[in-house]
Amino acid sequence: MKWLKNDDGGSMSVEAAMVLPLFLAFTLAMISMVMLTMTETALDSAVTQTAEQIAAYLYPAQILFTQIEQSKTVQSVEKIIQAIRDARSKLISGEQTAQQYEQWIPEPVLEVLESEINIRTNAETIITQAVQEQLNKLLTKIVALYMNPYVLSPKHLKVVDVVLPNLISKQQMYVKITAEYVVKLPLPFIHKEIRITKTALQRAWLGAY
């Protein structure tokens, strides 16, 4: 009887040794699936909100572009940008009430528009790779503002493509943002990374156009 009891204990130990790795693998797989789902949802929300915000502020930006198109000078670009910042500062401090749409353009969106304005002014419709990379970096900062900090980390985020409307010719009236996020799966002894890509497309409202 003692020999049989020892044999049963050894059999259970072998079974446990076989089942435990499978159970751990299943648990890690479930954790990875939940992590990927949460990351995908959070990234989609951040990119969508960014596109919506930029599209919403393109109407006052259109007024800005019209002024620059009429002036045709880089100096005028700098003056108009600074005038908007000064007007917004007075609005925030309560020194004056909002009388122009341009005063409502937030600083992050204004930085993107400023970069786009310089593109149109200096290079007309030619957008070089360096300028596109600059736009991508600016949009990466803005998307990071709308991220859930408990789910996403800015260091793993990268905007890989940005398409803004041509506010002068009224062509391509959509804001398109494509962002990537790198997820490191919690798998032991395996350095596995998955890139999640999300694209948001939002129509810009430009008055009667």
pLDDT over 70 (residue 146): yes
Q: Is this model's pTM higher than 0.75 or not?
A: no
Question: H helices within 124-191, ranges in order?
Answer: 129-145
* pLDDT of residue 158 exceeding 90: yes
Q: Which two tokens stand for residue 72?
A: 């045709």
Contact 179, 157 (CB under 8 A): yes
Sign of CA dihedral 28, 34, 40, 46: negative
Please provide the average confidence, as pLDDT, over all residues in the chain: 73
pLDDT top residue among 27 and 70 = 27
The label of the residue with tokens 């310089």 reads 118
The pLDDT of residue 154 is above 50: yes
Using alpha carbons only, how large is the chain's radius of gyration in Å? 26
Q: What is the pLDDT of residue 94?
A: 43
State the Cα–Cα distance between residues 35 and 40, nearest whole angstrom. Answer: 9
pLDDT per residue as tens digits for the range 88-122? 565 444 444 334 545 556 666 666 666 666 655 55
> Is the Cβ–Cβ distance between 113 and 61 less than 8 Å?
yes
**From start to end of the chain, where are the E strands?**
157-163, 174-184, 193-203
Comparing 81-85, 121-125, 178-182, which segment has the lowest mean pLDDT?
A: 121-125
Residue 156: which pLDDT band, with cuts at 50, 70 and 90?
A: very high
Tokens of residue 164, six digits: 């803004």
Is the pLDDT reported for residue 186 higher than 90? no
Sign of CA dihedral 79, 83, 85, 86: positive
Q: Is 105 exposed, middle or buried (0-12, 13-18, 19+ CB in 10 A)?
A: buried
> Would you say residue 125 has pLDDT above 50?
no
How does pLDDT run across 46-78, given as a tens digit for each residue? 999 999 988 887 777 666 666 666 665 555 556
